[in-house]
Structure 1
Amino acid sequence: MSGAPVIDGLQCGRYDRELIERMRDGGLRAVTITASFWEDALETMDVLTGWNDLVREHPDVALIARSGADIDAAVATDRVAIVLGTQNSSLFNDRIGFIEHFWDMGVRIVQLTYNIQNAIGSSCYEPVDTGLSRFGREVVEEMNRVGMIVDLSHVGERTSLEAIEASERPVAINHANARAIYEHARNKGTEVLDALVAHGGVLGVCTYNNIAGDYAATLDGSAELVARHVELLGIDHVAYGSDLDPNSPADNIAWMRNGRWSRKVQHGASRPDIAPPPEAWIDNFDFHKFGEVRDRLVERGLLSAAEAEQVFFGNWKRMYDEGFAPAGATQQEETR
């Protein structure tokens, strides 16, 4: 299994050539990056410009993935396919027409809400989840039409359920876990996960300590976390989403949690009642460890080699092959 390609469902760092080389050397062949949390349309376009420049300057190590075929190309040429994604819908500026504009710019995955309520629906931290708004239903429909995957990782339970039901295509939860395995507001309840599976969606198991607890303490624990999700959801619906934040500046956490909306202390996914993890845990959370977790699943008999490869590559690849194409498009049209 060592050397088999890995797809990471979500990261949110700051990238340069050296970091992409580390990702490549660690076995990553595709990763969804976070182009924005709270940024509006113009600010997100600035980030996309930076990615275009970076890939243009270093085409030997990276490419922008606009289709599943681009991930195949990355695997064939030992490069990293960058899937442009966001952790909020703020880039749309509440304009339905901007969804197609951003698809044309390469954005392929968008989370409907981040950590607060917006015009689409509720986050997982709202005391009352009001559900998917009328505008939210329009957004889901338009994302389905153009070929942009709906992500529900930070979205509230009722809003998630209604988005899954409203979507004609499978949706993603690309970096979260099951509440039945680790209780946390950011993790997903049984009703949401049952609906996700019934509609063909995929969950990216996340070894981020705040929403994984002691499972994140060791690589064996991370392997057990993946295996428990396979038992719960089935092999076709489990992938990996690290939520890794490499090279981020010191103030990035505050930006993620507070944005421009709050002057008060916002804890995000952290639990003030639980001490921060020791450095040994943090060391487990790196690119070269993803393949090691996959291999331990096989070595310990938790999954077969084929099942482990499906979790760490195949399930995201299948979803991207289908989800990045406009509704009704042929493969030839998708890759033009």
Structure 2
Amino acid sequence: MSNLHNDSVVIDGLIIAKWDRSIFEDMRRGGLSAANCTVSVWEGFQDTVNNIADMKKLIRENGELVSLVRTTQDILDSKKSNKTGIVLGFQNAHAFEDNLGYIEAYADMGVRVVQLCYNTQNLIGTGCYERDGGLSGFGREAIAEMNRVGIMVDLSHVGGNTSQEAILESKKPVCYSHCLPSGLKEHARNKSDEQLRFIADHGGFIGVTMFPPFLKRGIEATVDDYVEAIDYVINLVGEDCVGVGTDFTQGYDKGFFDWITHDKGRYRKLTSFGTILNPLGIRTIGEFPNLTAAMEKAGWKEARIRKVLGENWVRVFAEVWGA
């Protein structure tokens, strides 16, 4: 592990792995200071609370490797004590059901990031694979409540109209925690140059992913292609509002992808990704130091590397979560 990687605050803006000790060990191997860890996608309130309880138990049982993050100070403390901070996040507001009161309850449990929609329409708005009618009235109230209690609004899988309205509606910075630019590959999940500029111009944040179906070279991609994609976004919006959001799906099999890509209507299939193979050089979370090395190889200045690896995430989280 290079000195620069070792010294830097390293934050992954999105991991949806099969949570167990081996993942936490790999996070340590990769030198992660913190990660936004998905604990809800299609689950309702009760099952989501069960997932949170399971995750907290796992964190307690592996306290020498990880700790729960409620504040940005917790991230810095994790870094100091050589642990990885676990940020509880949702990839769908489905778990809010139709009850605004649940939002504060989740915040009290430690949830800090919630994506409004996952690919498809829910009570809040529309995902990126469906005709997009924009933000609902309930969605506007949900964003106001998320702003109030300090939960970050994530728009990665959200449709263009709903995203634009959410960006304008939110009083706090919102993010695409894990996205790629359409400029490198046309895909429903990727964001156009205009969309990337729009979120940045309104104080928002962009975490760049390396999920192979959305990368220019797909499963042929390497860690250098990932750096190229991050570079593309930085060239559009500047280096202060860009970070990393890998979308690691470590430990999962095909059954998980079948479940994750379903839609309304008794598991109607929404999309198919084909083979999932992460870029060569960063196939596992433990290989994270190779990302820093690839940034150095690409001629990035140290200040830019530190910002993109984690300092930018810390700043924007502080703006949303408060002191």
* TM bracket (short chain): over 0.9
Q: Extract structure 1 runs of 4+ deviating beyond 6 A.
A: none
User: What letter is aligned with 2:199?
Assistant: L
- Aligned-partner Cα distance in 2 for 1:119–1:161: 17
Q: Aligned to 2:123, what secondary structure does the other structure show?
A: coil
Matched, 1:292 2:290: yes
Q: Aligned to 1:213, what secondary structure does the other structure show?
A: coil
Matched, 1:129 2:135: no
Which among 82, 106, 111 is matched to residue 78 of structure 1?
Answer: 82
Further displaced range: 253-262 or 30-39: 253-262
- Aligned-partner Cα distance in 2 for 1:254–1:9: 23
The equivalent residue for 1:328 is none
Q: Aligned ranges for residues 31-110 of structure 1 at < 5 Å? A: 31-110=35-114
Which among 9, 13, 23 is matched to residue 17 of structure 2?
Answer: 13
Cα distance change on mapping 1:215 and 1:307 into 2, 3 Å:
farther
- Aligned-partner Cα distance in 2 for 1:174–1:280: 18
The equivalent residue for 2:307 is 310
Give the length in aligned residue pairs.
318
- Aligned-partner Cα distance in 2 for 1:41–1:280: 32
The equivalent residue for 2:200 is 197
Unpaired runs of 5+ residues, structure 1, are 326-330, 332-336
Q: Aligned to 1:95, what secondary structure does the other structure show?
A: coil
CA displacement at 1:215 relative to structure 2: 6.8
- Aligned-partner Cα distance in 2 for 1:57–1:125: 39
Further displaced range: 212-221 or 202-211: 212-221
Cα distance change on mapping 1:57 and 1:262 into 2, 3 Å:
same
How well do the aligned residues superpose, as a CA RMSD in angstroms? Answer: 1.8
Which among 7, 28, 32 is matched to residue 32 of structure 2?
Answer: 28
- Aligned-partner Cα distance in 1 for 2:98–2:304: 40
Cα distance change on mapping 1:74 and 1:261 into 2, 3 Å:
farther
CA displacement at 1:250 relative to structure 2: 4.1
**Are the aligned partners of 2:263 and 2:269 in contact in 1 as well (CA < 8 Å)?**
no
Which among 144, 162, 174 is matched to residue 177 of structure 2?
Answer: 174
**Are the aligned partners of 1:157 and 1:189 in contact in 2 as well (CA < 8 Å)?**
no
User: What letter is aligned with 2:317?
Assistant: Y
CA displacement at 1:59 relative to structure 2: 1.3
**Are the aligned partners of 1:9 and 1:241 in contact in 2 as well (CA < 8 Å)?**
yes
Cα distance change on mapping 1:289 and 1:232 into 2, 3 Å:
farther
- Aligned-partner Cα distance in 2 for 1:280–1:266: 22
**Are the aligned partners of 1:177 and 1:203 in contact in 2 as well (CA < 8 Å)?**
no
Q: Aligned to 1:248, what secondary structure does the other structure show?
A: coil
User: What letter is aligned with 2:258?
Assistant: A
**Are the aligned partners of 1:207 and 1:285 in contact in 2 as well (CA < 8 Å)?**
no
Deviations 1:20-49 (A, max 9, x none): 011112111101111111100100000000
User: What letter is aligned with 1:38?
Assistant: W
**Are the aligned partners of 2:179 and 2:209 in contact in 1 as well (CA < 8 Å)?**
yes
Unpaired runs of 5+ residues, structure 2, are none
